[in-house]
């Protein structure tokens, strides 16, 4: 599809849901810094930015579990890592909060896309697995907050993506419907949540998809920049 309008011919979508990390914002540098600080304080070797990029997408708790295990596929956790997890998560939260999004950068094309959608009367929400306490500050820090009517974070409901419930919750709050709402994300969690919800989905190639290609996951459109949707 060459544009979002093409997904909703003959008009633009009534609502658009956006993932945050890896879709709107490159937050991996801050996440990696917090992970490495946590690992160092636990007497372990830093993971580094490249590894952390491949571990983002399922929320902070899973990110910390992956960091403790040193790999994406952390399950089942070792008894030692399982015992360490609560303290490790606390250290990570403190370190990430202190960074306050200072190294986060909005991806090219994001502002252009959001401006265009806003001008066409599209209501927008962020649907992310990021803990609620970090979502609002990051949106403010990056200048994205004015575009969104609400956000659904990783703690807003009892479940996270790839469960479809966060998408359906945001859609309901925006007063939209399945056929007039689109999910835009960068990972299998986003695409699978949209598919389970029966909702059109756009995937971006530049984000964090656990190091795998996103092209074959079943999204309605796959793009290299959000400007391709205009």
Asked about 149 being catalytic, the answer comes back as no
Strand residues in the chain grouped as ranges (E): 15-18, 25-26, 105-106, 123-127, 150-152, 181-185, 201-204, 221-223
- Length of the chain equals 230
From residue 144, how far is each of 78, 98, 126 by CA, in Å? Answer: 39, 20, 10
Listed in sequence order, the residues at least 6 apart from 142 whose beta carbon sits closer than 8 Å to its beta carbon are: 24, 25, 101, 104, 105, 106
Of the listed 19, 21, 36, 186, which one is catalytic?
A: 19
Best CA proximity match to 201, nearest among 7, 56, 6: 7
Side by side, which strands form the sheet with 123-127?
150-152, 123-127, 15-18, 181-185, 201-204, 221-223
Q: How far apart (Å, rounded) are the C-alpha atoms in residues 230 and 221?
A: 13
Give me the numbers of helices (H) and strands (E) for the chain, helices first please: 9, 8
- List active site positions: 19
């Amino acid at each position: 599809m060459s544009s979002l309008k093409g997904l909703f011919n003959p008009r633009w979508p009534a609502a658009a849901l956006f993932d945050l990390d890896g879709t709107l914002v490159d937050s991996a540098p801050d996440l990696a810094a917090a992970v490495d600080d946590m690992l160092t304080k636990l007497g372990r070797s830093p993971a580094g930015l490249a590894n952390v990029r491949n571990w983002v997408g399922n929320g902070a708790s899973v990110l910390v579990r992956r960091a403790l295990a040193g790999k994406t596929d952390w399950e089942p956790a070792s008894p030692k890592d399982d015992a360490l997890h609560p303290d490790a998560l606390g250290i990570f939260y403190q370190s990430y909060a202190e960074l306050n999004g200072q190294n986060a950068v909005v991806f090219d094309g994001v502002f252009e896309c959001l401006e265009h959608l806003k001008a066409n009367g599209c209501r927008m929400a962020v649907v992310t697995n990021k803990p609620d306490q970090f979502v609002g500050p990051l949106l403010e820090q990056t200048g994205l907050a004015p575009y969104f009517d609400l956000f659904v974070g990783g703690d807003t409901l009892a479940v996270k993506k790839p469960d479809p419930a966060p998408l359906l919750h945001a859609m309901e709050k925006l007063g939209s419907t399945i056929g007039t709402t689109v999910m835009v994300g960068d990972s299998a969690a986003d695409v699978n949540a949209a598919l389970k919800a029966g909702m059109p989905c756009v995937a971006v190639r530049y984000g964090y998809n656990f190091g795998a290609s996103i092209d074959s996951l079943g999204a309605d459109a796959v793009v290299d920049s959000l400007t391709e949707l205009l």
